[in-house]
Amino acid sequence: DGGITQSPKYLFRKEGQNVTLSCEQNLNHDAMYWYRQDPGQGLRLIYYSQIVNDFQKGDIAEGYSVSREKKESFPLTVTSAQKNPTAFYLCASNAGYTDTQYFGPGTRLTVL
Amino acid sequence: GENVEQHPSTLSVQEGDSAVIKCTYSDSASNYFPWYKQELGKRPQLIIDIRSNVGEKKDQRIAVTLNKTAKHFSLHITETQPEDSAVYFCAASWGHDMRFGAGTRLTVKP
């Protein structure tokens, strides 16, 4: 999982702002995922992408957007439409021929 | 869709004792069941996984059992150590659809 990086580690957002979280992997993995983690809860799927230029909504996609222009990169934008964005955001990837997902170190987003 | 329930939410044991965490799932199509360990502020790390064609898997002090008929699977940690203290998540997946339990906070008292 050292091949998956996320930046920044901490991010502060003002009300009404859009912010973009970065996720990069050098594992040559086909599939990438974004999860949101709130205290005392499991991980909830926001978006996932199985191939370049294609992505699917997860359970809590409202207020978020993604792109997959390169195999290595899957950025997540938290828009002003997301009313409660304060959370820990985790990116993951897997090779496609296996189910095992490996996680990045996460970005903690706080709304001021 | 898949629903995964995990129990207990918190677990405290003495060093050297065993710890057991249980999960149930709803979708009979699920065929892959990983367990992740997450330390405070860190990423979840895969510690063990099991596929639906296997009933039990062991890796040193950690073992996982799967009962497909009952749709439940369990994590067993023997000879617990203080460094085992963390939050543990179970998950169930079919293809790219992976659903996580709410987590168990394990505390191992020295």
Report which of residues A98 and B24 the model is more confident about.
Answer: B24
User: Structure tokens of A90?
Assistant: 């985790």
Q: Which residues contact A97 (CB under 8 A, 6 or more apart)?
A: none
Separation of alpha carbons B96 and B81, rounded Å:
34
Question: Tens place of pLDDT for every residue, chain B, 110 residues?
Answer: 778 999 999 999 999 999 999 999 999 999 999 999 999 989 999 999 999 888 999 999 999 999 999 999 999 999 999 999 999 999 999 877 889 999 999 999 99
| Interface contact B44-A90, CB threshold 8 A | yes
- The whole-number pLDDT of residue B2 equals 77
- For residue A46, the distance in angstroms to the closest alpha carbon of chain B comes to 12
Report CA Rg, chain A. Answer: 13
Strands B10-14 and B104-109: parallel
> Best mutation site among A34, A43, A60 for testing chain B: the one with the most B CBs within 10 Å?
A43
In 3D space, the residue among A32, A1, A16 whose CA is nearest the CA of residue B44 turns out to be A1
Q: Flag whether pLDDT at A1 surpasses 70.
A: no
What's the CA dihedral at A86, A93, B2, B52 to 10 degrees?
-150
pLDDT confidence of residue B95? 79
* Tens of pLDDT, residues A38-56: 987 889 999 999 999 999 9
Coil, strand or helix at B82 = helix
pLDDT band, residue A72 (cuts 50/70/90) = very high
Which among B1, B43, B49 has the least Cβ separation from residue A105? B43
- Nearest residue on chain B to A94, judged by CA atoms? B96
B-chain residues near A5 (CB < 8 A): none
Residue A83, pLDDT above cutoff 90:
no
pLDDT at A2: 56
DSSP β-bridge partners for residue B35: B48, B90
A residues 19-78 lying closer than 8 A (beta carbon) to B: 31, 33, 40-45, 48, 50, 59
Test mutation, B96, B99, B104, chain A, max A CBs within 10 A? B96
Cβ distance of B96 and A104 shorter than 8 Å:
no
pLDDT, tens digit, 9 for 90 and up, residues A10-21: 999 898 899 999
Partner-chain contact A103 B103, CB within 8 Å? no
